Amino acid sequence: METLLSLLHGFTVALEPSKLLFCLIGVFLGTAVGVLPGIGPALTVALLLPVTFKLDPAGSLIMFAGIYYGGMYGGSTTAILLNAPGESASLATALEGSKMAKAGRGGPALATSAIGSFVAGLIATIGLAFLAPWLVEVAVKFGPWDYFALMIVAFVTVSATFGDSPLRGLTSLFIGIALGLIGIDKLTGQARLTFGVPELLNGVEVTTLAVGLFAVGEAFYVASKRSHAPEEIIPIKGSLWMTKEDWKRSWAPWLRGTAFGFPIGALPAGGAEVPTFLSYSTEKRLCKYPDEFGKGAIEGVAGPEAANNASAAGTLVPLLTLGLPTSATAAIMLAGFQQYGLNPGPLLFAEKPDLVWGLIASLFIANVMLVILNLPLIGLWVRLLAIPQPWLYAGIVVFATMGTLAVNGSPVELAMLFIFGFIGYLMRRYDYPVAPMVVGLILGPMAEQQLRRALQISLGDPMILLENPISATLLGIAALALIAPFAMKGLNRFKASED
C-alpha cells in the first residue's frame, strides 16, 4: 500500500510537463541510437553525461532512463530488418525476425517486438516497483557457482539453434567458445591466443562477430547465388499489422519471455543474453508449429524481445536498491546519479523519494511513449526493404562497418569483420548454423570465469557446485533438459514398436 502511494506520488513528479519533455527526448534519442549497430544506450548516456550535469537531476535521470528503454526498442529494428543484431541481446530476435522480414512479414515482426517490449516493460517495471527489495535479497545470494550452473542451463538450450545437424551445430558452438578464449584472461591477466597482436588483447567483440556472421556473411551469400537463384525479398505480404493469429501466437511468449528476463536481469551477473536464449529455445519447444522455426516463427521474435526488455528493467533492481551497476548502461547511469551527488541504494529511497519514484513512474511513461512512437514507424521501416537489392545490401555492409568503427576504429577489428563475414558465407554454403558460434562467444567466457571464481573460493573443491541448493537445482534442470529429448525419442520408438 505504501509502495502504491509512493508510486502515485512519483507519477505527479513524472507527469510535470518539463519531465515529460525530458522523457520524450530520451526515448527518441534511445530509439535513434538503438537502431545503429555498435552504438548502444550505454555509449549515448556516456556521451551525454558531460552535457547534462548542469541540468536538473530528476529531469536528466528520467532522460537517461528513456534512452535506456528506447535503446532496447531500437535494437530489435535492425536485427529484424537487416539481420544485423547491433547488440548481443538482440541476437535471438534476429534469428526468426529476419526470416519473417524477408517473407514480407516484417510488419508483424516489428509489431510483436514493439508490443512485446511494451508488455514486458510494463510487467517488469511493476515488478521493479513492488518486488525490488525482496528480489534483490535473493539476487545477491547468487554465487559464482550458481552463475556457472545458470550458464550450463543456457548452454544446454543452445541446441535449439543447431538446425538439422548436431555435428555442424556443435562445431559452430565450439569455434565460438574458442574465439572467446582470445584475449586477456580476466582472472590472471594473461594473454591467450593473441599471437603478439596487441589489438587481440581485448578479445573478440560480440557485435563484430555477430554483425560479421549475420549481415556481411548474408551479403556474400546472396551475391554468390544471385546469378542463378536470386533471393527474393518481399517488403510487405498480407497485413502490415498483426493478424488475429499473430496475437494468439504472441501473447504467451511475451509473458514467458518476461518471466525469464526480469529475474535473470535482476541478478548482478545475469545479463540480457541468457534470458533471450532461454526464451528462444523454450518457444521452439512449446511452439505448435515447430517446422516454422528457422523460417520465421513469430514466437521466436515475441519471446526473446520480451525477455530482452524485461531484463533491462531487471537491471534497474540492483541499481536502484543497492547501487549495483550490472550492465554497461547501468554503470553509466550510476555515474549519472553520482554526478549529482546521489548514491543509489536503500538510503536513496528514504532520502530522495521524489526522485526515485519519479524515475520509476517515468519508466511507465517512457514505455507508453515508446509504443506510441514505434508502432507508426513500422510502416516506414518496412519500406526500407523495398530499396533495390544492390543498394540495400551495400547499405547493410556500410552499416556493419560503421558500427564496428564507432566502437573500435582499428584496421584489425575491420579485418576481423571481413574474415567473420567470409566464414559466415562459407557456413551458409555448407549449411552450418551461425547462431551457436555467437552464443559460444558470449557464454563461453562467462561460464569459464564463474567456474574459476567458484573454485577459487572453494580452494579447488568441485563439490561446491552440488552443495549449494541453487546451483544443484540448476544443474539438475540442465541434466534433465539434456536427457529428456533422448528419453522421449526412446519412448516414442518403444511405443511405435508396440503398435
Partner 1 sequence: MTNETRTQGADKPALIVGVLLLIVAALIGYDASQQTITSNYGVGPTAMPYVVAAGLTILGLAHFVVAFREGLPKPDAADGTALLWIAGGLIFLIACIGLGGGFVIAIAVVFACTARGMGRRALAVDAAIGFVLGLAIFLVFAKVLTLILPAGPLEQLFL
Partner 2 sequence: MLTSVLKRGALAAVALAALSTAAFAQVSELKIMAPAAPGGGWDGTARSMQQALTAAGIVKSVQVNNVTGAGGTIGLSQLIGAKGDGHQLMVNGFVMVGAILLNKSPVNLTQVTPIARLTAEAEVIVVPTESPLKSAKDLAERLKADPAKVTWAGGSAGGTDHILAALFAQAVGADAKKINYIPFSGGGEALAAMLGGRVTAGVSGYGEFEGQIKAGKLRVLAVSSGKRLENAPDAPTLKEQGIELELLNWRSVVAPPGLSAEQTKALTDTVEKMVKSKEWQEILKARGWDDSFLAGAAFDSFLKGEIERVSKVMTEVGLVK
**Can you tell me which of 21, 187, 386, 466 binds partner 2, judged by CB under 8 A?**
187
Residue 322 within binding range of partner 2, rule CB under 8 A? yes
Residue 196 within binding range of partner 1, rule CB under 8 A? no
Task: Give me the least distance between CB of 341 and partner 1, in Å please.
Answer: 25
Residue 156 within binding range of partner 1, rule CB under 8 A? no
Smaller CB separation from partner 1, 17 or 411:
411
Burial of 240 (0-12, 13-18, 19+ CB in 10 A): middle
Residue 252 within binding range of partner 1, rule CB under 8 A? no
CA angle 9, 11, 12 (to 5 degrees): 70
Separation CA 300–CA 76 (nearest Å): 12
* Cα–Cα distances in angstroms (integers) from residue 73 to residues 29, 120, 164, 210, 258, in the given order: 11, 11, 31, 19, 15
Stretch that binds partner 2, among 66-74, 211-219, 328-336, 363-371 (CB under 8 A): 328-336
Please count the residues of this chain forming the interface with partner 2, following the rule CB under 8 A. 57
The pattern of x and - marking residues 157 through 186 that bind partner 1 according to CB under 8 A reads: ----------xx-xx--xx-xx--x---x-
**Can you tell me which of 142, 262, 420, 432 binds partner 2, judged by CB under 8 A?**
142
- Neighbouring C-beta atoms of residue 345, cutoff 10 Å: 16
Q: Angle, to 10 degrees, between the axis of helix 411-429 and the axis of helix 389-407?
A: 140
Separation CA 280–CA 111 (nearest Å): 18
Smaller CB separation from partner 2, 17 or 50:
50
- H helices of 323-468, in order, are 328-338, 346-351, 353-383, 389-407, 411-429, 435-457, 464-467
* Cα–Cα distances in angstroms (integers) from residue 293 to residues 92, 97, 100, 394, in the given order: 12, 11, 10, 28
Separation CA 262–CA 125 (nearest Å): 9
Separation CA 191–CA 203 (nearest Å): 10
Task: Give me the least distance between CB of 73 and partner 2, in Å please.
Answer: 20
Q: Is the dihedral of CA 292, 295, 296, 300 positive or negative?
A: positive
The site partner of 429 among partner 1, partner 2, none (C-beta below 5 to 8 Å per kind) is partner 1
Q: Is the dihedral of CA 359, 361, 362, 367 positive or negative?
A: positive
Residue 321 within binding range of partner 1, rule CB under 8 A? no
Smaller CB separation from partner 2, 145 or 162:
145
The answer to whether 434 and 214 are in contact (CB under 8 A) is: yes
Residue 290 within binding range of partner 1, rule CB under 8 A? no
Smaller CB separation from partner 2, 269 or 378:
269
**Can you tell me which of 281, 401, 450, 468 binds partner 1, judged by CB under 8 A?**
401
Please count the residues of this chain forming the interface with partner 1, following the rule CB under 8 A. 67
Stretch that binds partner 1, among 154-162, 370-378, 448-456, 481-489 (CB under 8 A): 448-456
Separation CA 57–CA 479 (nearest Å): 49
**Can you tell me which of 30, 323, 424, 433 binds partner 2, judged by CB under 8 A?**
323
Separation CA 466–CA 425 (nearest Å): 42
Provide the b/e sequence for 358-380 (b: ≥16 CB within 10 Å).
bbbbbbbbbbebbbebbeebbee
Nearest to 450 by CA among 474, 481, 476: 474
The site partner of 143 among partner 2, partner 1, none (C-beta below 5 to 8 Å per kind) is partner 2
| Contact footprint for partner 1 (CB under 8 A) | 39, 44, 47, 167-168, 170-171, 174-175, 177-178, 181, 185, 187-190, 192-193, 216, 219-220, 222-229, 388-391, 393-395, 397-398, 401-402, 405-406, 409, 411, 414-415, 417-418, 421-422, 425, 429-431, 444, 448, 451-460
| Contact footprint for partner 2 (CB under 8 A) | 42-43, 45-47, 49-50, 53, 139-144, 184-189, 191, 198-199, 201-202, 268-269, 318, 322-326, 328, 330-332, 335, 338-341, 343-348, 407-410, 449, 453, 456-457, 459
